[in-house]
Amino acid sequence: HSFILRDHNKCVLCGICVRTCDEIQGVGAVNFTFRGYATRISAFENKLLQESACLSCGECVVRCPVGALLPKNGAEPTYEVKTVCTYCGCGCGIYLGVRGGIIVGVRGDSSSPVNQGNLCVKGRFGYQFINHPERLTTPLIKRNGRFEEVSWEEALDLVASKFQEAQEKYGSEALGGLSSARATNEENYLFQKLLRSLGTNSIDHCARL
């Protein structure tokens, strides 16, 4: 499995993962299989977890009391930062685990009224993009077929001039904007205000693409 390590030798067959998957996640991807000494926790037909109905949420991993289920590539953080998941508009509360200036894990914030500590696969395991070497951290402008790093001022000036050019040539209705479900409500509000101030109502967001 891409995110979960399973060690059947450590499993004490407490059934917490089975109940978590069934009663909290409503998935039922794992259950007791075989009988007697051969009993083990596995997916339907003893399939690999990644080939089962498992959604990779990791809720069973969080609750396993003996380390039979562990996050892959997980390291012990030296400190945590309380924040909000940026992946979708639900806004689940999370703690980012940090070690040596790098994010090494995520756990749900049980005091958050939104998710009460539960997370989906993106919120729990999709944090590698933060420290990814190919992550874009500055705006880029394509010149002569190559992307060049530029300042925000230069990028915004270019966008404004292109908007103006299109507006003059084709009218305001030719303009449109796509916002992001990963932005906050306030940012999305400001985005639609900006577009409407330019004279267009063509506004949408990435979750519908």
Q: Out of 90, 159, 206, 207, which residue is the one contacting ligand SF4 (CB under 6 A)?
A: 90
When asked if residue 88 is in the footprint of ligand SF4 (CB under 6 A), the reply is yes
Of 70 and 198, CB closest to ligand SF4: 70
d(CA 69, CA 11): 8
68 binds ligand SF4 (CB under 6 A): yes
Please pick, from the candidates 42, 71, 77, 87, the single residue that binds ligand SF4 as defined by CB under 6 A.
87
Burial 18-30 (b: 16+ CB within 10 A, else e): bebbeeebebebb
Identify which of residues 121 and 166 has a Cβ nearer to ligand SF4 in the complex.
Answer: 121
Distance (Å, whole) CA 131 – CA 150: 21
Which residue number is nearest to ligand SF4 in terms of Cβ?
A: 123
Give the tokens for residue 50.
């990644």
Place of tokens 């904007």: 177
- Residue 64 touching ligand SF4 (CB under 6 A): yes
φ/ψ of residue 107, rounded to 5:
-130, 150
Does 96 participate in binding ligand SF4 (rule CB under 6 A)? Answer: no
Is there binding between residue 95 and ligand SF4 (CB under 6 A)? Answer: no
Q: Please count the other Cβ atoms lying within 10 Å of the Cβ belonging to residue 92.
A: 23
15 binds ligand SF4 (CB under 6 A): yes
Which positions ≥6 away from 150 have C-beta within 8 Å? Answer: 138, 139, 140, 141
Residue pair 115/93 in contact by the 8 Å Cβ criterion: yes
According to the binding rule CB under 6 A, does residue 11 interact with ligand SF4? Answer: yes
Binding site for ligand SF4 (CB under 6 A): 11-17, 20-21, 25, 27, 29-30, 41, 54-60, 64, 66, 68-69, 85, 87-88, 90-92, 115, 119-120, 122-123
